[in-house]
A and B are shown apart, each in its own frame.
Chain A
Amino acid sequence: EAGVTQFPSHSVIEKGQTVTLRCDPISGHDNLYWYRRVMGKEIKFLLHFVKESKQDESGMPNNRFLAERTGGTYSTLKVQPAELEDSGVYFCASSQDWPSVNEKLFFGSGTQLSVL
Protein backbone atom coordinates (compact mmCIF):
# COMPACT_ATOMS: atom_id res chain seq x y z
CA GLU A 1 0.00 0.00 0.00
CA ALA A 2 1.34 3.43 -0.93
CA GLY A 3 2.05 5.77 1.96
CA VAL A 4 1.52 9.51 2.12
CA THR A 5 3.37 11.12 -0.76
CA GLN A 6 4.47 14.72 -1.02
CA PHE A 7 5.74 16.69 -3.96
CA PRO A 8 8.18 18.27 -4.44
CA SER A 9 10.68 16.92 -1.92
CA HIS A 10 12.65 20.16 -2.13
CA SER A 11 11.80 23.64 -3.36
CA VAL A 12 14.05 26.66 -3.49
CA ILE A 13 12.38 29.94 -4.35
CA GLU A 14 13.02 33.62 -3.96
CA LYS A 15 11.20 35.87 -1.56
CA GLY A 16 8.00 37.11 -3.12
CA GLN A 17 7.49 34.10 -5.36
CA THR A 18 4.68 31.59 -5.12
CA VAL A 19 5.09 27.93 -4.27
CA THR A 20 2.53 25.14 -4.22
CA LEU A 21 3.09 21.97 -2.26
CA ARG A 22 1.10 18.83 -2.92
CA CYS A 23 0.12 15.95 -0.68
CA ASP A 24 -1.48 12.66 -1.66
CA PRO A 25 -2.84 10.89 1.42
CA ILE A 26 -3.17 7.17 1.84
CA SER A 27 -6.11 5.99 -0.23
CA GLY A 28 -9.31 5.99 1.79
CA HIS A 29 -8.05 8.31 4.51
CA ASP A 30 -10.59 11.06 5.05
CA ASN A 31 -8.37 13.06 7.36
CA LEU A 32 -5.48 15.07 6.01
CA TYR A 33 -3.19 17.28 8.03
CA TRP A 34 -0.49 19.81 7.27
CA TYR A 35 2.31 20.40 9.76
CA ARG A 36 5.45 22.49 9.52
CA ARG A 37 8.86 22.51 11.15
CA VAL A 38 10.94 25.64 10.91
CA MET A 39 14.62 25.37 11.77
CA GLY A 40 15.30 25.06 15.46
CA LYS A 41 11.62 24.79 16.37
CA GLU A 42 9.19 22.00 17.00
CA ILE A 43 6.80 20.55 14.43
CA LYS A 44 3.63 22.63 14.48
CA PHE A 45 0.11 21.99 13.30
CA LEU A 46 -1.20 24.07 10.40
CA LEU A 47 -4.59 22.62 9.50
CA HIS A 48 -6.82 19.58 9.29
CA PHE A 49 -9.17 18.52 6.50
CA VAL A 50 -11.98 16.02 6.88
CA LYS A 51 -12.64 15.02 3.31
CA GLU A 52 -12.84 18.34 1.48
CA SER A 53 -13.82 20.44 4.49
CA LYS A 54 -11.47 22.37 6.76
CA GLN A 55 -12.04 20.99 10.23
CA ASP A 56 -9.43 23.14 11.95
CA GLU A 57 -7.21 25.79 10.40
CA SER A 58 -6.15 27.44 13.63
CA GLY A 59 -2.47 26.82 12.94
CA MET A 60 -2.27 28.64 9.63
CA PRO A 61 0.22 31.46 10.20
CA ASN A 62 -1.37 34.15 8.01
CA ASN A 63 -3.36 34.75 4.84
CA ARG A 64 -0.38 34.13 2.60
CA PHE A 65 -1.07 30.43 3.13
CA LEU A 66 -3.94 28.75 1.30
CA ALA A 67 -4.77 25.08 1.60
CA GLU A 68 -7.26 23.25 -0.57
CA ARG A 69 -8.53 19.72 -0.88
CA THR A 70 -10.98 19.77 -3.74
CA GLY A 71 -12.76 16.45 -4.12
CA GLY A 72 -11.44 15.23 -0.81
CA THR A 73 -8.44 13.44 -2.28
CA TYR A 74 -5.09 15.18 -2.62
CA SER A 75 -4.37 18.54 -1.02
CA THR A 76 -2.33 21.55 -2.01
CA LEU A 77 -0.75 24.19 0.19
CA LYS A 78 0.08 27.41 -1.58
CA VAL A 79 2.31 30.11 -0.16
CA GLN A 80 1.91 33.48 -1.90
CA PRO A 81 4.00 35.56 -1.64
CA ALA A 82 6.67 33.55 0.14
CA GLU A 83 8.72 35.20 2.88
CA LEU A 84 12.07 34.18 4.37
CA GLU A 85 10.43 32.94 7.58
CA ASP A 86 8.35 30.43 5.60
CA SER A 87 11.44 28.27 5.11
CA GLY A 88 11.16 24.88 6.75
CA VAL A 89 9.92 21.36 6.25
CA TYR A 90 6.24 20.97 5.48
CA PHE A 91 4.81 17.61 6.47
CA CYS A 92 1.52 16.15 5.41
CA ALA A 93 -0.17 13.36 7.34
CA SER A 94 -3.32 11.34 6.91
CA SER A 95 -5.49 9.11 9.05
CA GLN A 96 -8.75 7.22 8.89
CA ASP A 97 -9.90 7.19 12.50
CA TRP A 98 -10.40 10.75 13.72
CA PRO A 99 -11.81 11.65 16.24
CA SER A 100 -10.67 8.54 18.07
CA VAL A 101 -8.17 9.29 20.83
CA ASN A 102 -6.16 6.40 19.38
CA GLU A 103 -6.04 8.01 15.95
CA LYS A 104 -2.84 7.06 14.18
CA LEU A 105 -1.31 9.56 11.78
CA PHE A 106 0.88 8.51 8.88
CA PHE A 107 3.30 11.19 7.78
CA GLY A 108 4.76 11.90 4.40
CA SER A 109 8.48 12.53 4.01
CA GLY A 110 7.94 16.26 3.78
CA THR A 111 8.78 19.13 1.45
CA GLN A 112 11.88 21.11 2.34
CA LEU A 113 11.10 24.71 1.39
CA SER A 114 13.90 27.24 1.20
CA VAL A 115 13.00 30.88 0.61
CA LEU A 116 16.01 32.99 -0.35
Chain B
Amino acid sequence: RKEVEQDPGPFNVPEGATVAFNCTYSNSASQSFFWYRQDCRKEPKLLMSVYSSGNEDGRFTAQLNRASQYISLLIRDSKLSDSATYLCVVRGNYGGSQGNLIFGKGTKLSVKP
Protein backbone atom coordinates (compact mmCIF):
# COMPACT_ATOMS: atom_id res chain seq x y z
CA ARG B 1 0.00 0.00 0.00
CA LYS B 2 1.28 3.46 -0.92
CA GLU B 3 1.98 5.77 2.00
CA VAL B 4 -0.11 8.56 0.45
CA GLU B 5 -2.76 7.72 -2.12
CA GLN B 6 -4.64 10.06 -4.40
CA ASP B 7 -6.95 9.74 -7.36
CA PRO B 8 -4.71 10.80 -10.27
CA GLY B 9 -7.60 12.29 -12.26
CA PRO B 10 -7.67 14.16 -14.49
CA PHE B 11 -10.58 16.18 -13.21
CA ASN B 12 -11.95 18.26 -16.08
CA VAL B 13 -14.36 20.90 -14.79
CA PRO B 14 -15.92 24.09 -16.17
CA GLU B 15 -15.09 27.49 -14.73
CA GLY B 16 -17.13 28.20 -11.65
CA ALA B 17 -17.52 24.56 -10.66
CA THR B 18 -16.78 23.15 -7.23
CA VAL B 19 -14.32 20.28 -7.17
CA ALA B 20 -13.11 18.06 -4.35
CA PHE B 21 -9.94 15.98 -4.06
CA ASN B 22 -9.38 13.20 -1.57
CA CYS B 23 -6.30 11.60 -0.18
CA THR B 24 -5.59 8.78 2.27
CA TYR B 25 -2.41 8.11 4.21
CA SER B 26 -1.22 4.89 5.77
CA ASN B 27 0.91 5.96 8.74
CA SER B 28 -1.25 6.82 11.72
CA ALA B 29 1.77 8.50 13.37
CA SER B 30 1.84 11.19 10.69
CA GLN B 31 1.88 14.62 12.26
CA SER B 32 1.42 17.29 9.65
CA PHE B 33 -0.57 17.47 6.47
CA PHE B 34 -0.41 19.75 3.47
CA TRP B 35 -1.71 20.39 0.01
CA TYR B 36 0.88 21.50 -2.52
CA ARG B 37 0.21 22.75 -6.00
CA GLN B 38 2.48 21.96 -8.93
CA ASP B 39 2.14 23.63 -12.30
CA CYS B 40 3.44 21.83 -15.39
CA ARG B 41 7.24 21.59 -15.34
CA LYS B 42 7.45 23.74 -12.22
CA GLU B 43 8.32 23.17 -8.59
CA PRO B 44 5.77 22.19 -5.94
CA LYS B 45 4.46 25.15 -3.98
CA LEU B 46 2.68 25.02 -0.64
CA LEU B 47 -1.02 25.74 -1.10
CA MET B 48 -2.13 25.25 2.47
CA SER B 49 -1.56 23.28 5.62
CA VAL B 50 -4.37 21.04 6.83
CA TYR B 51 -5.52 21.14 10.43
CA SER B 52 -7.77 18.79 12.37
CA SER B 53 -10.38 21.47 12.81
CA GLY B 54 -10.48 22.12 9.07
CA ASN B 55 -9.29 25.34 7.56
CA GLU B 56 -10.22 27.68 4.77
CA ASP B 57 -8.25 30.07 2.61
CA GLY B 58 -10.48 31.99 0.22
CA ARG B 59 -11.99 29.52 -2.24
CA PHE B 60 -9.99 26.61 -0.79
CA THR B 61 -11.09 24.45 2.13
CA ALA B 62 -9.03 21.62 3.59
CA GLN B 63 -10.25 18.93 5.97
CA LEU B 64 -8.46 16.23 7.96
CA ASN B 65 -10.02 13.12 9.46
CA ARG B 66 -7.39 11.45 11.62
CA ALA B 67 -9.61 8.49 12.52
CA SER B 68 -10.07 7.61 8.85
CA GLN B 69 -6.60 8.87 7.84
CA TYR B 70 -8.23 10.94 5.17
CA ILE B 71 -7.52 14.43 3.84
CA SER B 72 -9.61 16.50 1.45
CA LEU B 73 -9.34 19.71 -0.54
CA LEU B 74 -12.38 21.57 -1.82
CA ILE B 75 -12.06 24.28 -4.45
CA ARG B 76 -15.08 26.51 -4.98
CA ASP B 77 -15.77 28.74 -7.99
CA SER B 78 -12.93 27.20 -10.02
CA LYS B 79 -10.79 29.55 -12.10
CA LEU B 80 -8.78 28.76 -15.21
CA SER B 81 -5.69 29.55 -13.16
CA ASP B 82 -6.51 26.70 -10.77
CA SER B 83 -5.47 24.20 -13.46
CA ALA B 84 -2.52 22.32 -11.98
CA THR B 85 -1.61 19.11 -10.20
CA TYR B 86 -2.53 19.05 -6.52
CA LEU B 87 -0.23 17.06 -4.29
CA CYS B 88 -1.31 15.60 -0.98
CA VAL B 89 1.68 15.67 1.37
CA VAL B 90 2.15 14.15 4.80
CA ARG B 91 4.95 14.58 7.31
CA GLY B 92 5.69 11.61 9.49
CA ASN B 93 6.95 11.34 13.02
CA TYR B 94 9.48 8.59 12.94
CA GLY B 95 11.12 7.49 16.11
CA GLY B 96 10.21 10.74 17.80
CA SER B 97 12.00 12.94 15.31
CA GLN B 98 10.54 15.18 12.68
CA GLY B 99 10.10 13.09 9.56
CA ASN B 100 10.46 14.13 5.99
CA LEU B 101 7.65 14.95 3.56
CA ILE B 102 5.87 12.08 1.86
CA PHE B 103 4.12 13.00 -1.37
CA GLY B 104 1.17 11.51 -3.17
CA LYS B 105 1.40 11.22 -6.95
CA GLY B 106 -0.96 14.13 -7.35
CA THR B 107 -4.38 14.82 -8.80
CA LYS B 108 -4.50 16.72 -12.07
CA LEU B 109 -7.12 19.43 -12.40
CA SER B 110 -8.04 21.07 -15.67
CA VAL B 111 -10.50 23.98 -15.56
CA LYS B 112 -12.09 24.75 -18.91
CA PRO B 113 -13.75 28.00 -20.06
A103 within 8 A of B: yes
**Residues 90 to 114 of chain A near chain B (Cβ within 8 Å):** 91, 98-105, 107-110
- Hey, what's the 0/1 contact readout for B89-104 against A, CB within 8 Å counting as 1? 0010000011011111
Partner of A59, one of B43, B49, B100: B100
Q: Is the interface of B mostly helix, strand, loop or mixed?
A: strand
B49 — nearest CB in chain A belongs to which residue? Answer: A102
A33 within 8 A of B: yes
Tell me which of A91, A102, A105 has the highest count of chain B C-beta atoms within 10 A of its own C-beta: A105
Tally of chain B residues near chain A (CB < 8 A):
21
Within the complex, what minimum Cβ distance (angstroms) separates B84 from chain A?
A: 14
- Verify A103–B98 contact, CB threshold 8 A: yes
- Verify B106–A45 contact, CB threshold 8 A: no
User: With A and B bound together, what is the CA distance between A45 and B45 in angstroms?
Assistant: 16
A12 within 8 A of B: no
B4 within 8 A of A: yes
User: With A and B bound together, what is the CA distance between A59 and B102 in angstroms?
Assistant: 11
User: Assuming A42-B104, A43-B87, is B49 touching A99 (CB within 8 A)?
Assistant: no
Within the complex, what minimum Cβ distance (angstroms) separates A3 from chain B?
A: 9
Q: Which residues of A are found within 8 Å of B101, using beta-carbon distances?
A: 35, 45, 105
B66 within 8 A of A: no
User: Assuming A56-B100, A99-B97, A101-B91, is B46 touching A42 (CB within 8 A)?
Assistant: no
User: With A and B bound together, what is the CA distance between A33 and B105 in angstroms?
Assistant: 19
User: With A and B bound together, what is the CA distance between A100 and B42 in angstroms?
Assistant: 26
Partner of A109, one of B42, B98, B104: B42
Partner of B4, one of A35, A42, A98: A42
User: With A and B bound together, what is the CA distance between A33 and B98 in angstroms?
Assistant: 13
Cross-chain pairs A/B with CB under 8 angstroms, 9 sampled: A42-B4, A42-B103, A42-B104, A48-B100, A56-B100, A91-B44, A103-B32, A105-B46, A109-B43
Closest 7 CB pairs of A and B: A99-B98, A107-B43, A43-B103, A45-B100, A42-B105, A101-B32, A42-B103
Q: Which residues on B are within 8 Å of A, measured CB to CB?
A: 2, 4, 31-32, 42-46, 49, 87, 91, 97-98, 100-106
